[in-house]
Structure 1
Amino acid sequence: MKKITILVILLISQLSIAQTEHAWVYFTDKPNVANALANPSTILTQKAIDRKNNHGIVIDERDVPVNETYISQVKAQTGITVKAKSKWFNCIHVLGTQTDIDNLLNLTFVNEIIYADHSLNTANRSVAFTTVKQTAEKLETLVVYNYGNSSNQATMIKVEKLHELDYTGEGVTVAVMDSGFPNVNTMAAFQRLRDNGDLLNGYDFVDRNPNIYAYTGNSHGTNVLSDMAAYIDGQFVGTAPDASYYLFRTEDAATETPVEESYWVEAAERADSLGVDVINTSLGYNRFDESRYDYTTNDMDGNTAFITRGANIAVEKGILVVNSAGNSGNDGTWGIITAPADGNVFTVGAVDASGNYASFSSRGRVPNIPVKPDIVAQGASVYVVSSGGSVVTSNGTSFSSPIIAGAMACMVQAFPNKTNLELMQIVRESASIYTNPTTELGYGIPNFELAFQTLAIVENGTEEKITLFPNPAKTTLHVKIPATIQQAKITLINVLGRTVQSFQSTSPLQLIDVSKLATGMYLLQIETDNKIITKKLIKQ
């Protein structure tokens, strides 16, 4: 019996030593950085380059891909499996025993190793992460939408007013990070999306599979997407039915492991390189299948979790990242937001159909600085489209987040020259309790009609600034003329130099019917007492 006991002890000891670990392996450098930055089209799409240039976002070394030769050499090491990579952090996510992972330090290009099990990180392995500063910085109806069951969740935030102005997300690209998107490529609810060429496919980072529509045991992503993109006339209209969508599977619903954070960061990097304007994430991380990987509530500080730090970079890169607050409100041992909702992202909590706090919605921290959640939308008894095509109700901040993400896409369409941080702030300021935020509701329920009017009518910058919006325009062009200009003659000229329209302005906000103009470029001349100002107009 004694010998058997000893053997069992030895066996348990060996199993403990051989335990598989999650770790991030950071590299020392990247190849051909100077050449890549001098020729950004080799590492980014033109849409990504244009978005960065438009918002003054610097293209830097983080945009350069990870050295594939380094990755190949790591894969060749005994006992190592590479699961994901990150160009922003210049690292890869690996699985292996602690011994095998530690052996990677013998490779000259390996700079540091950080384990997901924090107890394994000795002082010489800790990395000094750079803290990202928290920053809180058409009046005629084209289509009459019949929202059906989705009416309340749209009208609560007044996004239908943007739709009436023909701001439905057209020309804006959204990436959805989630757990599965079965049947999106065949469902009637997304037929409009497919017919308009707005379903841009995507990638399954969990299974490394380009077939994003394959059933993986979970359809959460399909439900989430519906609150932005679905269109069933008379039954359901998403908040951005005309935006374009990339779908990325980063969540393995069958498990909860740290590698899912790395999948998310890799997908965010892909989204950035594709020129994505808005990311929606209805995911949150705090506890894992193995408790040794768990975060603490103190870790929800906006700069600790790997996914949060990746989300902060995405925001820094100019992407408007919208994230659900989490469903931990009734969890007595947690209660607060989960990662990456603790970061610089636009965090969305949940209310019921009457606008009251939904008890499951994760609350902000104490002290709640910066304020989280940022805003709230309907998340209790909210309508979604199931993977079977039925309009059903569900609960969760998973659905309040895409409702807001779609509305933000409409704002990006209306004001393409405003940065992500500017749009986030103007929507915060429109919310119902902006002057008295709480941990449950943040700044409250946003009013997108008010946010739009604030940006459209209140002049920012110098008094002499003249604003055209939307541009490109489909039906109605708004010309905002500063009050300091008493009289102005407005002339619309085509590319041949011929006058198409000419008239005297009658108000500071002049509306011009351009619905009958041919598609193309025009020049708008505004002649005042002492100058002629010329603006370029694109007619869609």
Structure 2
Amino acid sequence: MRSLLFLSLLFVCFYTNAQEAQDAWVYFVDKENVTQSLENPITILSQEALDRKELHGVIIDERDVPVNESYITEIKSQTGITVFAKSKWMNCVHVRGTETQIAALENLSFVSTIEYANKNITRAATPLLFSKEDPLQSQSRVVFEYGATDNQVTMLSLDELHLQDYTGEGMVIAIMDSGFPGVDENEGFARLRDAGKLLDGYDFVSREDNEFAFSNSSHGTRVLSDIVGFVEDEFVGTAPDAAVYCFRTEDVASENPVEESYWVEAAERADSLGVDVINTSLGYRTFDNPDYDYTYSDMDGQTTFISRGANLAFEKGMLVVTSAGNSGNGMISAPADAFGSFTVGAVDENGDYASFSSIGPSSDGRIKPDVVAKGTGSAVIDQNNNITTNNGTSFSSPIMAGAITSFWQANPQRTNADVMQIVRESASLYTNPTSQLGYGIPDFGAALDDLLTLEDYTNKSTYQIVPNPASEFAMIVFPEDISKVDVHIYDILGKLVGTKIVESQASYLPVANLKKGVYLIQINDGTTLITQKFIKS
């Protein structure tokens, strides 16, 4: 009798779970008109996007081709299925329905795999993505009086860049956030609007063109102010002359993985518009449905949907700046763990660790956060045009995003990977990073000197990698007074792909098993940590 009762209860639980609404990503087998689109890319990307990709040597590939709309139409016609978002990079849609209804989609000929947000449901392996093939200056100089933002700007020595007119002019930033009320009318953003630099935007949550209409959250307004806000003699953002797109991707009414899908869709929109830098003062780790929650092992830079999207955004040439999170000694959240995210923690006005700032490393051992900026008592402009202060990595992130945008303006030919590495190397703890502060507080004045005076940041030492490029073996040559170095090889997304201890003045590194492309070789001789670029041919 007890066995029968147990089986009955088990059946009821299984039936109930099968009828609950679930979130999932449905991946497609192919795309249409790929050849034609790649031969005529202006049909799928803006001219600004094409120009940026050409400038940075970013290849246009199948991931840039839109999702087949006929597939989406067919998915929408299925019983009980709602489509919330789509991703051309991942070639998938985000759907909601019961487990039974979603599972039925596998019968469609164009469906490749289905990935459930609920880890208790059997999940297919993460789909393989398509493999990757291998200064503007103002005419009149402005001297700013920073007012409330003085500490958060000068902490980074960013005022030295502003004095040389590197203020984000000619650069484009996309802000992914929860709401932007007041941006289209407040005086704190008048300079932005008057210059015609408040560009288009979109509300991906409500599917509306008016990204300023949603007023239940002003988080995005405050975040944006730290980048482009301006009140004469009272407030100056870190990239006051940059142009911006505002994208609402965060639904403050709930926590659901669909917000990750909104973010990826917005990142794809940003790429197509020629955006240089993305700021993400958002993070995902726990959800309203605990079955969707992420664990520390998921923070490996390549498991969560949003982190995979951040990696692709980086691969497409954009620089993705992300807040570390506000969990204190708790782990970072996604997409802060992504290889392609430049993750920002928080410090106070004295440069000391802010107790709320989430710590690293990522679960696969990478240094996170990358750097830190002021996040305690950060000056912001709110939706009522008041200059006030807020705490959180939500604000250290845009402070850094604007700073790195102004910095990149000084030499836009540099790649996103170049810029990230130069900024890391300028930071206060570069040779001794910690789990709380990462590589520390960047010195953008020193970084600018490196950027403008060095032919290549990888040539700052007597270490040499020869030949470079190489196909089978490369040799590291180093000074006679060094007896041993530790060598780590990373791919362009920061994933460790090889290690070796070199104990002689010239030692060969086998590279035949590496895929063709660009790598970063990190050399540690015990006192100096040096990173050099290497090309596998």
- In the other structure, the counterpart of 2:235 is 236
Query: Equivalent pairs: percent with the same residue?
Result: 57
- In the other structure, the counterpart of 2:105 is 104
Task: Decide which moves more: 90-99 or 359-368.
Answer: 359-368
Matched residue of 2:72: which SS?
Answer: helix
Gaps of 5+ in 2: 1-6, 460-537
Gaps of 5+ in 1: 1-5, 464-540
Counterpart among 350, 354, 359 of residue 346 in structure 2: 350
Partner Cα distance (2:240, 2:280) in 1: 18
Partner Cα distance (2:369, 2:457) in 1: 30
Partner Cα distance (1:363, 1:239) in 2: 24
Partner Cα distance (1:88, 1:119) in 2: 26
Partner Cα distance (1:462, 1:253) in 2: 43
Structure 1 residue identity aligned to 2:307: T
The answer (yes or no) to whether the contact 1:282–1:399 under 8 Å persists in 2 is yes
- In the other structure, the counterpart of 1:467 is none
2:447 corresponds to 1:451? yes
Partner Cα distance (1:160, 1:36) in 2: 44
Partner Cα distance (1:170, 1:132) in 2: 34
Matched residue of 1:398: which SS?
Answer: helix
1:257-406 to structure 2, matched below 5 A, reads 257-330=256-329, 335-344=330-339, 345-365=341-361, 369-406=365-402
Matched residue of 2:25: which SS?
Answer: strand
* C-alpha spacing 1:20/1:140, structure 2 compared with 1 (3 Å): closer
* C-alpha spacing 1:277/1:311, structure 2 compared with 1 (3 Å): same
Partner Cα distance (1:300, 1:407) in 2: 26
* C-alpha spacing 1:93/1:13, structure 2 compared with 1 (3 Å): same
Matched residue of 1:120: which SS?
Answer: coil
Matched residue of 1:72: which SS?
Answer: helix
Deviations 1:138-197 (A, max 9, x none): 799811111101100000001111111011101100000000001100000000000000
* C-alpha spacing 1:151/1:25, structure 2 compared with 1 (3 Å): same
Partner Cα distance (1:139, 1:102) in 2: 57
Matched residue of 2:448: which SS?
Answer: helix
Shift of 1:411: 1.5
Matched residue of 1:118: which SS?
Answer: coil
* C-alpha spacing 1:301/1:13, structure 2 compared with 1 (3 Å): closer
- In the other structure, the counterpart of 1:196 is 195
In terms of Rg, which structure is larger? 1
Shift of 1:389: 0.6
The answer (yes or no) to whether the contact 2:337–2:362 under 8 Å persists in 1 is no
TM-score of the pair, normalised by structure 2: 0.80
2:169 corresponds to 1:170? yes
* C-alpha spacing 1:131/1:396, structure 2 compared with 1 (3 Å): farther
RMSD: 2.3
The answer (yes or no) to whether the contact 1:162–1:449 under 8 Å persists in 2 is yes
Structure 1 residue identity aligned to 2:39: A
* C-alpha spacing 1:254/1:462, structure 2 compared with 1 (3 Å): closer
Paired residues in the alignment total 448
The answer (yes or no) to whether the contact 1:169–1:242 under 8 Å persists in 2 is yes
Shift of 1:46: 0.7
Partner Cα distance (1:151, 1:368) in 2: 37
Matched residue of 1:266: which SS?
Answer: helix
- In the other structure, the counterpart of 1:53 is 54
Deviations 1:197-253 (A, max 9, x none): 000030000010111001341110000000001000121100001100000000001
2:413 corresponds to 1:412? no
Deviations 1:298-325 (A, max 9, x none): 1100110100000000001100110001
* C-alpha spacing 1:140/1:97, structure 2 compared with 1 (3 Å): closer
Structure 2 residue identity aligned to 1:325: A
Task: Decide which moves more: 36-45 or 8-17.
Answer: 8-17
Partner Cα distance (2:272, 2:15) in 1: 44
Partner Cα distance (2:359, 2:371) in 1: 11
Structure 2 residue identity aligned to 1:213: F
2:85 corresponds to 1:84? yes
Partner Cα distance (1:12, 1:89) in 2: 33
Shift of 1:130: 5.6
* C-alpha spacing 1:438/1:132, structure 2 compared with 1 (3 Å): farther
1:58-69 to structure 2, matched below 5 A, reads 58-69=59-70
Partner Cα distance (1:357, 1:131) in 2: 40
Shift of 1:438: 0.3
Partner Cα distance (2:24, 2:362) in 1: 31
Matched residue of 1:321: which SS?
Answer: strand
Partner Cα distance (2:76, 2:126) in 1: 23
Matched residue of 2:278: which SS?
Answer: strand
Partner Cα distance (1:205, 1:188) in 2: 26
* C-alpha spacing 1:16/1:193, structure 2 compared with 1 (3 Å): same
- In the other structure, the counterpart of 2:4 is none
Shift of 1:406: 0.3
The answer (yes or no) to whether the contact 1:131–1:303 under 8 Å persists in 2 is no
The answer (yes or no) to whether the contact 2:301–2:362 under 8 Å persists in 1 is no
* C-alpha spacing 1:261/1:455, structure 2 compared with 1 (3 Å): same
Partner Cα distance (2:24, 2:148) in 1: 45
Partner Cα distance (1:385, 1:298) in 2: 37
Partner Cα distance (2:140, 2:445) in 1: 15
Deviations 1:316-338 (A, max 9, x none): 110011000111115xxxx1211
The answer (yes or no) to whether the contact 2:138–2:169 under 8 Å persists in 1 is no
- In the other structure, the counterpart of 1:37 is 38
Partner Cα distance (2:164, 2:309) in 1: 35
Partner Cα distance (1:40, 1:163) in 2: 36
Partner Cα distance (2:201, 2:320) in 1: 18
TM-score of the pair, normalised by structure 1: 0.80
Deviations 1:233-282 (A, max 9, x none): 12110000110000000000111000000000000000000000000000
Moved over 6 A (4+): 6-13, 138-141
Partner Cα distance (2:104, 2:323) in 1: 39
- In the other structure, the counterpart of 1:18 is 19
Matched residue of 2:120: which SS?
Answer: helix
- In the other structure, the counterpart of 1:27 is 28
Deviations 1:394-437 (A, max 9, x none): 10000000001001111221111000000000000000111000
Partner Cα distance (2:77, 2:92) in 1: 16
* C-alpha spacing 1:184/1:365, structure 2 compared with 1 (3 Å): same
Partner Cα distance (1:118, 1:350) in 2: 32
Partner Cα distance (1:218, 1:410) in 2: 28
- In the other structure, the counterpart of 1:502 is none
* C-alpha spacing 1:367/1:302, structure 2 compared with 1 (3 Å): closer
The answer (yes or no) to whether the contact 2:379–2:388 under 8 Å persists in 1 is yes
Partner Cα distance (1:157, 1:293) in 2: 38
Structure 2 residue identity aligned to 1:78: T
* C-alpha spacing 1:198/1:13, structure 2 compared with 1 (3 Å): same
Structure 1 residue identity aligned to 2:117: A
Deviations 1:18-63 (A, max 9, x none): 2000000000110000000000000000111111111111100000
